Amino acid sequence: MRLDEIKKIGVVGAGTMGQGIAQIAAMAGFEVVLYDLNSKSLKSARQNIVSNLQKGIEIGKLTVIEKEQALTKITFSEHFSDLIADVIIEAILEKLEIKKELFAKLEAQNKMETILASNTSSIPITRIAKDLKHPERFAGMHFFNPAHIMKLVEVISGASTSENTAKVIFELAKQLGKVPVLAKDAPGFIVNRVARNFYVEGLKVLEEQVSDVKGIDRLLESSGFKMGPFRLMDLIGVDTNFSVTTSMYNAFHQDPKFRPSRIQEQKVDAGHIGRKSGKGFYDYSN
């Protein structure tokens, strides 16, 4: 597969990350099919993409014609059989077995040249690709939230990922207007390994009652961070953040510095998972 042979991109999962990936792929001129089991998620994804494109017009980064052209490029589908493309990017739950099952099905219904990629932020690429017939055509393509704005993309090679696959994904990321960085298949890759301390230490300060959520966020924001750890966890999703921390904790054989927070776990159990639920460490109901 070469970059110039990529005409159609499939995106699995119409959540925050999936819809962002679908949007930028369509804006780059690719045909896109955005798949999700949930029709409500697809409806919400379309509304959010339209809203994002409209904001682009309002700030002068996009024209009305470009908005309409991008929307005509995206097909929103509940039918798995529609997921036939040159590159397919997964953006679903951070659960290894679910991802493995998904990619086995995708591999079975697509041509031999199709490149499969995961937007996983913490699960080893080698583990996901382990049972694929052609793991050399599988790689990590980790976007950052919000995907239609954030420039960085980690391109991760598993133990079996071919040099050509990594190269094509790297060039594709540039075609999507991103800044790609090559990474090895280590726990948390680059960004999440470094960022884990940002979240975990913030939660430890909260657990020890050194300060409250607002105080910790204010301190970090006054130090130059655009968002404190709790505002950022609410944006990403408290559940997603907790899942990544748990995954890294286990990947590093329960190293105490990656220990998940009981406060965060309680938030997840209560369904207080951030902006998407209306409540997390902050209340967004009003």
| Catalytic member of 110, 118, 119, 121 | 121
161 vs 140: CA distance, rounded Å: 9
| Catalytic member of 90, 94, 107, 154 | 154
212 backbone dihedrals φ, ψ, rounded to 5°: -95, 180
| Catalytic member of 142, 160, 241, 247 | 142
Residue 253 among the catalytic residues? no
32 vs 88: CA distance, rounded Å: 10
Contact (CB, 8 A) for 51 and 70:
no
Residue 101 half-sphere exposure toward CB, CA atoms < 13 A: 7
DSSP 276: G
Residue 192 among the catalytic residues? yes
| Catalytic member of 41, 52, 122, 192 | 192
Residue 154 among the catalytic residues? yes
Helices (H), the chain: 16-27, 39-58, 64-73, 96-109, 125-129, 163-175, 191-207, 213-222, 229-236, 238-251, 262-270
Residue where the block lists tokens 């075609």: 175
Contact (CB, 8 A) for 114 and 165:
no
The contacts of residue 66 (CB under 8 Å, 6+ apart) are 27
Q: Which of the residues are catalytic?
A: 121, 142, 154, 192
